[in-house]
A and B are shown apart, each in its own frame.
Chain A
């Protein structure tokens, strides 16, 4: 078993990759690797990634280079993606965060919202701690996570590892840990003048409804009568 990878070793790997490759490639860091690179975690067992390139030869070059680098630098390198755990939101790769370049290698953090949902799906204690870290560090906005979940939960496929119900239970546990109340987003059928929020009271989920005030008319402020 190789030793876990810290930031210094990760940096060495990325720099070596940048020197070894010639054609442009996009390398999306995934999972704990993102937290290590962002300085939010000390080490990760594996450098998890997914790659993409406009030129298929670039990916082939990458696949030839990585095994030798693994051995030379004594790191675990694993192709992985949040899509391995559950469906990801539309345009997830495009929502990834550009970090920096190493020669032709452009490094991104895979869509942080999808990373969080994948960690919630798996829900190991390490995953739960990582989610808390990412939210509290501002790497991800929780409202976006909820919106992404509402988008993907209706997908008919992609649930071989975890069912939607299971992930919903994990999400509830995560909200509790983060002390976040679940917001029920409006649907097309909802009366948009009514706002609905749900919260926990004595162990039960309670939905509270209240009517939004009407929009103020535009123009100068009105004096009260």
Chain B
């Protein structure tokens, strides 16, 4: 198992790994080539990351590679405590956002498999089919705001604006790992 690093080193490792999976909205400060972890390990490391932008990148990675949803869930299963809770919520957010923006995502990246529903019952969330996924995301955001104190709804909207702007770019999603 890789030794988790912290701070700038963590940022560089995980940003470089994201880039290797075709996710370019973050970049390492040190461009020296680094070993790229398998995508399951990357999901786990993102969920454990200290920087919120890297934690959010879990959503971006899953939206970019929805076929790896099973691998993402397996990674979540290895987590405990707050990291496990946050990762479950990010998985649901990705699944909801994918349904909310299905046409735009298909135009940008081609048809994609749906991220299968998961964790809805244990988090007390409505079906992803309700209101094109918006009902689940709204309820999720309310819970996060109550639990963690930040405006999660605005956060998810900004994240999706960013993703929709980036995912049309040449090379997005292209894996060199």
Contact = CB atoms under 8 A, between A and B. Distances in A.
Interface of A: 1, 45, 123-126, 128-129, 166, 169-170, 173
B100 to A, nearest CB: 6
Contacts of B168: 166
B158 interface: no
Nearest to A174: B103
A126 B132 contact: yes
A169 B141 CA distance: 31
B101 interface: yes
A124 B153 contact: no
Given A169-B107, A170-B107, A173-B103, A126 B142 contact: no
Given A1-B138, A1-B153, A170-B107, A125 B145 contact: no
Contacts of A129: 132
How would you classify the secondary structure of chain B's contact residues: helix, strand, loop or mixed? Answer: helix
How would you classify the secondary structure of chain A's contact residues: helix, strand, loop or mixed? Answer: helix
Nearest to B142: A1
A123 B103 contact: yes
Contact of A126 (B100, B141, B153): B100
Contacts of B145: 1
Interface of B: 99-104, 107, 131-134, 138, 141-142, 145, 153, 168
B99 A125 contact: yes
Nearest to A4: B138
B129 to A, nearest CB: 11
Given A170-B107, A173-B107, A125 B132 contact: yes
Contacts of A166: 168
11 contacts: A1-B142, A1-B145, A123-B107, A124-B132, A125-B100, A125-B101, A125-B132, A126-B100, A126-B131, A129-B132, A169-B107
A124 B104 contact: yes
Contact of B100 (A45, A124, A170): A124
A166 B104 CA distance: 10
A123 B104 contact: yes
Contacts of B133: 125
A175 to B, nearest CB: 12
Nearest to B161: A161
Nearest to B145: A1
A1 B141 contact: yes
A124 B138 contact: no
A129 B107 CA distance: 17
A82 to B, nearest CB: 18
A126 B96 CA distance: 13
A98 B129 CA distance: 35
B65 to A, nearest CB: 21
A166 to B, nearest CB: 8
A123 B103 CA distance: 7
B141 A125 contact: no
